[in-house]
Amino acid sequence: MAKEKKGVRLEHISKIYQDPKTHKDFYAVHDTSLEIEPGSFVTLLGPSGCGKTTTLRMIAGFESPDEGEIYLGGEPINALTPNKRDTAMVFQSYALLPHYNIFDNVAYGLKLRKMDKDTIRTKVLDILKLVGLEGMEARMTNQLSGGQQQRVALARALVLEPGVLLFDEPLSNLDAKLRVSMRTEIRRIQQEAGITAIYVTHDQSEAMALSDKIIIMEKGVVSQMGSPQEIYYHPKNEFVADFIGDANFLKGKMLRHEGGDGIVAINGTEVRVATADNVADGAETTVVLRPESTVLGDQGYFPVKVIVSSFMGAYQLYHVMLGDTKLIIHEYNPKGKKIYAMGETAYINFEPGNAHCI
Binding site for other proteins (CB under 8 A): 14-16, 25, 27, 60-67, 78-84, 87-89, 91-93, 95-99, 108-109, 112-113, 140, 142-143, 153, 156-157, 160
Q: Give me the least distance between CB of 330 and other proteins, in Å please.
A: 39
Kindly tell me which of 97 and 308 has the beta carbon lying closer to other proteins: 97
Provide DSSP, 121-188.
Answer: HHHHHHHHHHTT-TT-TTSBGGGS-HHHHHHHHHHHHHTT--SEEEEESTTTTS-HHHHHHHHHHHHH
Q: Give me the least distance between CB of 162 and other proteins, in Å please.
A: 9
Q: How far apart, in Å, are the Cα atoms of 183 and each of 87, 116, 207?
A: 20, 33, 9
Q: Mutual orientation of helices 146-158 and 117-130 as an angle, nearest 10°? A: 130
Q: Give me the least distance between CB of 78 and other proteins, in Å please.
A: 6
In the sheet that holds 302-311, the strands lie side by side as 295-297, 345-349, 302-311, 315-322, 325-332
Kindly tell me which of 50 and 110 has the beta carbon lying closer to other proteins: 110
Q: Give me the least distance between CB of 121 and other proteins, in Å please.
A: 17
Q: Give me the least distance between CB of 47 and other proteins, in Å please.
A: 21
Handedness of CA 348, 349, 350, 356 (dihedral sign): positive
The residue among 46, 13, 39 whose CA lies nearest residue 215 is 46
Residue 21: CB partners within 8 Å, gap ≥ 6? none
Kindly tell me which of 142 and 299 has the beta carbon lying closer to other proteins: 142
The H-assigned helical ranges of the chain are 52-60, 102-112, 117-130, 146-158, 176-193, 204-210, 228-233, 238-243
The residue among 345, 295, 300 whose CA lies nearest residue 316 is 295
Q: Give me the least distance between CB of 156 and other proteins, in Å please.
A: 7
Q: Give me the least distance between CB of 25 and other proteins, in Å please.
A: 5
Residue 105 and residue 97 in contact, taking contact as beta carbons nearer than 8 Å: yes
Q: Give me the least distance between CB of 89 and other proteins, in Å please.
A: 5
Handedness of CA 135, 139, 143, 145 (dihedral sign): positive
Kindly tell me which of 45 and 159 has the beta carbon lying closer to other proteins: 159
Kindly tell me which of 91 and 315 has the beta carbon lying closer to other proteins: 91
Kindly tell me which of 160 and 215 has the beta carbon lying closer to other proteins: 160
Q: Give me the least distance between CB of 40 and other proteins, in Å please.
A: 21
Kindly tell me which of 122 and 143 has the beta carbon lying closer to other proteins: 143
- How many Å apart are CA 147 and CA 132, to the nearest integer? 11
Single-letter amino acid, residue 85? R
Kindly tell me which of 169 and 261 has the beta carbon lying closer to other proteins: 169
- How many Å apart are CA 128 and CA 113, to the nearest integer? 19
